[in-house]
Structure 1
Amino acid sequence: MKPPSRPELFDFEGVSMIHYFTDNWEKVKNFQARPDDILIATYPKAGTTWVSYILDLLYFGNDAPERQTSQPIYTRVPFLESCFKVIPSGTELADNLPTSPRLIKTHLPVQLVPKSFWEQNSRIVYVARNAKDNAVSYFHFDRMNMGEPEPGDWNTFLQTFIDGKKVFGSWFDHVNGWWEKKQTYSNLLYMFYEDLVEDTGHEVANLCSFLGLSTSVEQKEKITKGVQFDAMKQNKMTNYSTVPVMDFKISPFMRKGKVGDWKSHFTVAQNEQFDEVYKQKMKNTTVKFRTEI
């Protein structure tokens, strides 16, 4: 059986996109958010699944053990703009969520998020990851995910990443756009992947206070243990091993989860070039990233 051909990138409202995320656009744009919804927003490969799982455990970890063992994370936390034929669209999954609050994930840049989230003053958790590690993670993801455009070799990929020609657009625009939004929208928590790696427990506590949850110390500790990278990598409900378009023989969906793995990919020349571009593109923002911890 011939594998399905990979999608082509095109410009959508000024952002590089593929059809899987625009095919259902009318319904995405007009999606009706609720005041108690929690939107998890990230650039691809910045810790989305990790934070989705933490939130799922905080809210529903005690409710139904079968939820944790029988429902993959992508049905518990629907991917709003996704429209893959193998499962219902993100909007349909979100509309039919039986839980309250609804946990919904998106990779959309801030300007494309459905208006109703702002109108309803829904809470939003944004997770950002340093550009170098994010690029490496995205590269390996594109290699194994047939639902993504062909990445080419590392050098080619890095250039397209720098140029913002990746699905969901430029990393720089994404993290900066959301950072700017945070200055005017108080119901937005802006988290860093590096902080999560360094002290997961502290970030779990931060989430609880942002969400107004009175989670017990024992519960927080249990969750912190359950969401460590190796535990999630082994967990069939969180590691995406049940998704047919992903080829785990090339690379697992959850690869390393480390900070600083970029050092084993970037050449000295690539690193220098990247730093130059970075300085340029980040000169007007106050958001600061760590590339090692």
Structure 2
Amino acid sequence: MENSELPPRPPLFDFQGVSMIHYFTDNWENVQNFQARPDDILIATYPKAGTTWVSYILDLLYFGQTAPERQTSIPIYERVPFLECDFKMLTPGTELADKLTTSPRLIKTHLPVQFVPKSFWEQNCRVVYVARNAKDNLVSYFHFDKMNLVEPEP
């Protein structure tokens, strides 16, 4: 496919002092009103810091023995929904998280701490924060965004 045939990349815009893309803010009211449960586990990462890796590990630790079939029958984005994402072609992350029947619910986010729904703090949920060497993270994110068309040009 030639560049002229590619869909346009969305622009970054200032959202309450943070550069964001609309896929993270289109469902904002539902994100902020999301009701966490006391046993929820929030996986909080910077993009390309190991989010999927940690999601798989926690899913295996919590459900690998009791429901091993879920590893091959349910995609990771449904087992561990991305709370703020609203990519129109998929069910919004808030809806996927609400539909989870597992306990604990594993939910991931790239939101800065000030944007995490208050209910996670009110319910005293556990948070798994993942950090990666900043240089490695930058290189990974750059190469990912070269092929990922849902974010601005890297």
TM-score of the two chains, using structure 1 as the length reference: 0.51
Partner of 2:61: 58
**CA–CA distance in 2 between the matches of 1:36 and 1:14?**
31
1:72 CA drift (Å): 1.4
Partner of 2:109: 106
Partner of 2:36: 33
Question: 11, 15, 21: which is aligned to 1:12?
Answer: 15
Question: 51, 72, 92: which is aligned to 1:48?
Answer: 51
1:13 CA drift (Å): 0.8
Instruction: Tell me the alpha carbon deviations over residues 84-104 of structure 1, each in whole angstroms, 9 at most, x when there is no partner.
Output: 011100000000011111000
**CA–CA distance in 2 between the matches of 1:82 and 1:127?**
19
Partner of 2:134: 131
SS in 1 for 2:69: helix
Percent of paired sites with the same residue: 83
Instruction: Tell me the alpha carbon deviations over residues 30-55 of structure 1, each in whole angstroms, 9 at most, x when there is no partner.
Output: 11001000000001010111111110
Partner of 1:163: none
For structure 2, the residue ranges without an aligned partner over 5 or more in a row are none
Question: How do 1:240-259 and structure 2 match up within 5 A?
Answer: none
Partner of 1:142: 145
Aligned length: 151
Q: Which runs of 4+ in 1 moved over 4 A?
A: none
Partner of 2:87: 84
**CA–CA distance in 2 between the matches of 1:107 and 1:122?**
16
Which residue identity is paired with 1:62? Q
Q: Which structure has the larger Rg? A: 1
**CA–CA distance in 1 between the matches of 2:103 and 2:146?**
36
**CA–CA distance in 2 between the matches of 1:130 and 1:108?**
19
**CA–CA distance in 2 between the matches of 1:121 and 1:147?**
33
- Structure (1 or 2) with the greater helix fraction: 1
SS in 2 for 1:44: coil
- Structure (1 or 2) with the greater strand fraction: 2
1:139 CA drift (Å): 0.2
1:130 CA drift (Å): 1.6
State yes or no: 1:21 paired with 2:24: yes
Which residue identity is paired with 2:80? V
For structure 1, the residue ranges without an aligned partner over 5 or more in a row are 152-293
Instruction: Tell me the alpha carbon deviations over residues 220-239 of structure 1, each in whole angstroms, 9 at most, x when there is no partner.
Output: xxxxxxxxxxxxxxxxxxxx
Report which structure shows greater RCO (CA 8 Å, sep ≥6).
Answer: 2
**CA–CA distance in 2 between the matches of 1:131 and 1:92?**
32
